[in-house]
Amino acid sequence: MDPALDVPGYDTLILSDVHLGSECSRARDATRVLKENRFRRLILLGDIFADLNFGRLTKDHWKFLGTIRKLSNPKRAVEVVWVEGNHDQGLSNLMAHLVGVKVYEEYAWTYAGLRHVAIHGHQFDRFVINNLRLNYLGTLLYLQLQKLDLKGKPVARFIDRLNTRWLRMTEKVASGALRYADLHGFDRIFCGHTHVAMHREQNGIQYFNAGGWVDSPPTFLTIDKEGVQIHEYCERPDDRDSGQERGGADSAPAEQSGEPGLSEDAEYESVGG
């Protein structure tokens, strides 16, 4: 018997802010989460990419995309949903063709008699909305800083946390999301964007933030009959930074999924080449 069948399954798993292309991305760990859990629906809740430069993607980043492609195969019976984030704009439609997933600005569904909606959250961050060019330049500067940072990227991660708190992003997104859910009649609303996992309830409406995968601890959400849970990824003895050399020539041979024509990573690396 397949040992994976013994793993408890979820209705939905939500993963946000992997920031592929960033030196701080915990893509390898995020891939482990996808491989070690069973779920009927996967929601990629925005900012899966850091920017438009595919040349920044490492081998681990391509493996993450390959895993998404495998999960989206109809034989797996998993619904894979990509909700566009502010860093994904311009990439989502392209990747929808490459990894075979649908892209939404927001995604709504009903489960256990409750109305759910997933939206990245930058829509409730007025600083991002009003300063799109400044935000883009800030992203480029932040990515360059990561190259000069020390091992473990302590400076970059400190700036990420400082930025979240200085702009009061966590509170702004939570408040805006709860108002949005109330206005549109949703019982639960899920966001990313802030990189801070949290749960808040107001007037019977529940708000959850999935956190992110560029800092510690990385987090993700699951939904099942027991409700919504925030999970922290547990560090492994062999965990290390995914900032490996880039490019298809440096990649290990693609792992075959067992399905004709479906490879884990090599199929996509030529895009960045």
Residues 153-205 pLDDT 10s: 555 555 555 554 444 588 989 999 999 999 999 999 999 999 999 999 999 99
Q: How far, in Å, CA of 273 to CA of 270, rounded?
A: 5
For residues 66-88, average pLDDT: 92
The winner for highest mean pLDDT among 195-199, 238-242, 243-247, 249-253 is: 195-199
**Largest CA-CA distance found in the chain, in angstroms, rounded:** 54
In the chain, alpha helices (H): 27-36, 59-72, 92-99, 126-130, 132-148, 154-166, 169-184, 266-272
The mean per-residue pLDDT over the stretch 219-237 comes to: 92
Question: Residue 239 pLDDT > 80, yes or no?
Answer: no
pLDDT at residue number 89: 74
Identify the pLDDT of residue 244.
47
At residue 151 the predicted structure's pLDDT band, cuts being 50, 70 and 90, is low
Question: pTM of the prediction?
Answer: 0.75
88 DSSP β-pair partners: none
User: Is the predicted pLDDT of residue 11 greater than 60, yes or no?
Assistant: yes
Report how far residue 232's alpha carbon sits from residue 197's, in angstroms, rounded to the nearest whole number.
9
Ranges 59-63, 130-134, 265-269, most confident: 59-63
Question: DSSP assignment of 191-220, as one string?
Answer: E-SSS--EEEEETTEEEEE---SSSSS-EE
Map out the domains of the chain as residue ranges: 11-272
Q: Which one has a higher pLDDT value, 96 or 149? A: 96
Fold of 11-272: Purple Acid Phosphatase; chain A, domain 2 (3.60.21)
Q: Are 4 and 198 in contact (CB under 8 A)?
A: no
pLDDT of residue 16: 96
Q: What average pLDDT does the segment 241-266 reach? A: 39
Percent of the chain scoring above 90 in pLDDT: 51
* Mean pLDDT, residues 55-62 taken together: 92
**Tokens matching residue 217:** 């601890």
The answer, yes or no, to whether residue 117 has pLDDT greater than 60, is yes
Q: Which residues sit opposite 228 in a β-bridge?
A: 223
